[in-house]
Amino acid sequence: MSKQPTRTIKVDTLARVEGEGALYVKIKGDQVQDVKLKIYEPPRFFEAFLRGRHFSEVPDIVARICGICPIAYQMSAVHAIERALGVGIDPSVRLLRRLFYCGEWIESHTLHVYMLHAPDFLGYPDAIAMARDHQSIVQQGLRLKKAGNRIVALMGGREIHPVSAAVGGFYKTPSKSALKELVNELEWALDASLATARWVSGFDFPDFEQDYEFVSLSHPGEYPFNEGRIVSNRGLDIDASDYEENFTEQHVQHSNALHSVLRGHDSYMVGPMARFNLNFDKLPDVAQQAARDCGLQAPCRNPFRSIVVRAIELVFACYEALRVIREYEPPATSRAQTTARDSTAWAATEAPRGLLYHRYSLDQDGLITSAKIIPPTSQNQKRIEEDLWHFVSQIATRSSQEITWKCEQAVRNYDPCISCATHFLRLHLERD
């Protein structure tokens, strides 16, 4: 019997941005021997950094965790702290928070669909190379992202690391006329997002499905952003306060990041596919019809089709933003009064990449005594590795170059923060 050749595919230094990571795949013959996705999660440092800070500082501090989804961190933080303090928010503030989140989803999903993931499907090394051949498409993506930026800038005071979110509401709320100025562009954005869905649904998707446990928020009346119970397709149905009883983080030797697992169930998936599969009936008709037109049905179990799901969520976010603007009446007061008390509370909201869990304990002066933040990338990390195990098994006989390309594409299915870096990775291939 001939000796099976071993190939080791290493992707070193998934550097910068919101995390550090690397990818390692070892193949012997056509059998996968090992897969390791290593992520070093910066958000962990923030938990200690928050201790001793006043609760009112938390939204601005956690916004710095991520340059692309600061609103998600702000929303999970303010909801947890408001719960701790027993603060109720004005219905108009609740609407504005949905609008704020729409802006972030539009920014983040557009960036991923157009600039990070589409080049994989079209055979380009990056968006710049893609732009040479697809100018009008990239132009559409840039304008769509800018529509999201405009919402964030109006609501948050600036495009990056917004500063207006506060415990109890906002430091400043917009006028009706200021919101109405966004309408024309958002109407264009809704059409553009429908076109985006049609465009990406025509891509060539690998034939690859997995039996996932999907986890997301679920709200009885709306597609989830800030509120709802944490549910799964395998019977999980809990309040955020029970998160840590049901989920646990495991240390793995090859990574500084902890692997989140669902106790008794193991790995799970959060993010657009989980939301879509668990909340399809909460999408507005326009988004449901767009999904059907794209041949997308819930449950979707092919992670490569997550690009289509993101496009459907773009349709939703544009539609929802327009709905909020139509219904908005300025609140009587932009920010509810808060009184410090010794307390602990929890919240989970839906970041563009999936469920984002926060827990805070406060002392009687309102200072943070402990904080816990579990970002979606940490929750998906184990699932990404499992996808790679199964997917590489299907393509193990192909060239190392093609396997490397496909592995990176498979990682990007999840839009993890580390995917930010994957278009300029240094690749090392070792052969026996």
Partner 1 sequence: MALRIIGCGNFDRGDDAAGLLVVRHLRSLLVETLGVIPDLEITEQRGESFSSMDCLTNFDHVILVDATAPSGTPGQVQVWNAHADRLPEDIFPSSTHAFGVREAVELARAMNRLPQVLLIYGIEGKRFVLGAPLSPEVECAVASVAERLMTRVSDLLVKTSQRSRLAEMT
Which window, 110-118, 277-285, 314-322, 371-379, contacts partner 1 (CB under 8 A)? 110-118
The number of CA neighbours under 13 Å toward the Cβ of 251 is 2
Closest to partner 1 by CB, 52 vs 91, is: 52
Which window, 51-59, 121-129, 231-239, 335-343, contacts partner 1 (CB under 8 A)? 121-129
CB of 382 to partner 1, least distance (A): 24
Which window, 32-40, 153-161, 274-282, 311-319, contacts partner 1 (CB under 8 A)? 153-161
Between helix 135-156 and helix 306-327 the angle, nearest 10°, is 40
Site membership for partner 1, residue 420 (CB under 8 A): yes
Number of residues that bind partner 1 (CB under 8 A): 26
Closest to partner 1 by CB, 7 vs 134, is: 134
Site membership for partner 1, residue 151 (CB under 8 A): no
Residue selected from 4, 16, 52, 289 as contacting partner 1 according to rule CB under 8 A:
16
Tokens found for residue 428? 């090392």
Closest to partner 1 by CB, 230 vs 417, is: 417
CB of 145 to partner 1, least distance (A): 6
Site membership for partner 1, residue 310 (CB under 8 A): no
Residue selected from 48, 160, 178, 183 as contacting partner 1 according to rule CB under 8 A:
160
Site membership for partner 1, residue 116 (CB under 8 A): yes
CB of 290 to partner 1, least distance (A): 25
Closest to partner 1 by CB, 142 vs 336, is: 142
Q: Using CB under 8 A as the criterion, what x/- string covers residues 122-141 for binding partner 1?
A: -----xxx-xx--x--xx--
Q: Using CB under 8 A as the criterion, what x/- string covers residues 66-85 for binding partner 1?
A: -xx-----------------
Contact 215, 236 (CB under 8 A): yes
Closest to partner 1 by CB, 17 vs 252, is: 17
CA distance 55 to 61: 10
CB neighbour class for 238 (10 Å; exposed up to 12, middle 13-18, buried from 19): middle
CA distance 173 to 156: 9
Q: Using CB under 8 A as the criterion, what x/- string covers residues 196-215 for binding partner 1?
A: --------------------
CB of 370 to partner 1, least distance (A): 23
CA distance 99 to 349: 14
Q: What is the DSSP string of 273-330?
A: HHHHHHHGGGS-HHHHHHHHHTT--SSP--GGGHHHHHHHHHHHHHHHHHHHHHH---
CA distance 188 to 191: 5
Site membership for partner 1, residue 48 (CB under 8 A): no
Contact 371, 245 (CB under 8 A): no
CB of 9 to partner 1, least distance (A): 21
CA distance 226 to 86: 16
CA distance 141 to 138: 5
Q: Given phi > 0 = left and psi -120 to 50 = alpha, else beta, which region is 55?
A: alpha
* CB proximity list for 264: less than 8 A, separation 6 or greater: none
Which of 348, 417, 322, 412 is CA-nearest to residue 378?
A: 417
Contact 376, 270 (CB under 8 A): yes
Closest to partner 1 by CB, 149 vs 232, is: 149
CB neighbour class for 142 (10 Å; exposed up to 12, middle 13-18, buried from 19): middle
Closest to partner 1 by CB, 138 vs 215, is: 138
User: How many secondary structure helices (H) and strands (E) does the chain include?
Assistant: 15, 14
Closest to partner 1 by CB, 118 vs 215, is: 118
Closest to partner 1 by CB, 58 vs 111, is: 111
Closest to partner 1 by CB, 16 vs 254, is: 16
* CB proximity list for 245: less than 8 A, separation 6 or greater: 238, 263
Three-state SS for 169? strand
Residue selected from 159, 209, 213, 363 as contacting partner 1 according to rule CB under 8 A:
159
Closest to partner 1 by CB, 224 vs 375, is: 375
| Interface ranges with partner 1 (CB under 8 A) | 16-17, 67-68, 111, 115-116, 127-129, 131-132, 135, 138-139, 142, 145-146, 149, 159-161, 420-421, 423-424
